[in-house]
């Protein structure tokens, strides 16, 4: 991965919209930043993060507004993908697939976060979606490899 693309990817992961700003897309970057702030504030996600880091998972679940937070994974992953795609030239074929599957899997993790236990421990609306990111990456990369193989075969 080229250094500029990696830089933009990491800044976009840190905060949606930053990657767009680095790519010179001011309006799109500010729109993603505004959207992230709106979703974050209305879902009480920052408080859920604080409670999760303090080990108060029940409180994290209690303060979370899932109606708002359900939008977060798709907006977040799309912003990351968009910044990555626009950085430093053309992307590899089907590079979007792992990003899309991460959005799906994190959303599933969020849906089950008030109920699903890992090793008998409820890990809540911050840690479970992060944990569900891993299968999204693996499944996305696997499906991308299948798509790449099928596109190389003569028809």
Q: 121: part of which helix (H) or strand (E)?
A: strand 121-122
81, 103, 26, 24 alpha-carbon torsion, rounded to 10°: -10
Please determine, for residue 1, whether its predicted confidence score (pLDDT) is greater than 70: no
pLDDT reported for residue 155: 61
Max CA separation in the chain (angstroms)? 56
pLDDT reported for residue 90: 82
Strands 121-122 and 117-118: antiparallel
Inter-residue contact 98 to 141 (CB < 8 Å) = yes
Please determine, for residue 6, whether its predicted confidence score (pLDDT) is greater than 70: yes
- Residue 97: which residues within 8 A CB-CB, separation 6 or more? 140, 141, 143, 144, 147
Domain regions of the chain by residue span: 3-152
Average pLDDT over residues 41-53: 98
pLDDT reported for residue 89: 78
What span, in angstroms and rounded, lies between the C-alpha atoms of 105 and 109?
Answer: 6
């Amino acid at each position: 991965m080229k250094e500029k693309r990696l830089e933009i990817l990491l800044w976009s992961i840190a905060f949606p919209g930053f990657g767009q700003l680095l790519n010179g897309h001011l309006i799109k970057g500010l729109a993603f930043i505004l959207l992230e702030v709106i979703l974050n504030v209305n879902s009480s996600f920052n408080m859920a993060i604080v409670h999760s880091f303090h080990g108060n998972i029940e409180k994290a679940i209690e303060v979370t507004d899932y109606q708002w937070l359900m939008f977060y994974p798709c907006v977040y992953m799309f912003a990351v993908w968009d910044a990555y795609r626009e950085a430093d030239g053309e992307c590899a074929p089907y590079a979007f697939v792992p990003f899309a599957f991460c959005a799906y899997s994190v959303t599933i993790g969020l849906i089950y976060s008030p109920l699903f236990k890992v090793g008998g421990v409820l890990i809540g609306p911050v840690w479970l979606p992060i944990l569900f990111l891993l299968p999204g990456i693996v499944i996305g990369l696997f499906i991308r490899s299948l798509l790449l193989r099928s596109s190389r075969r003569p028809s």
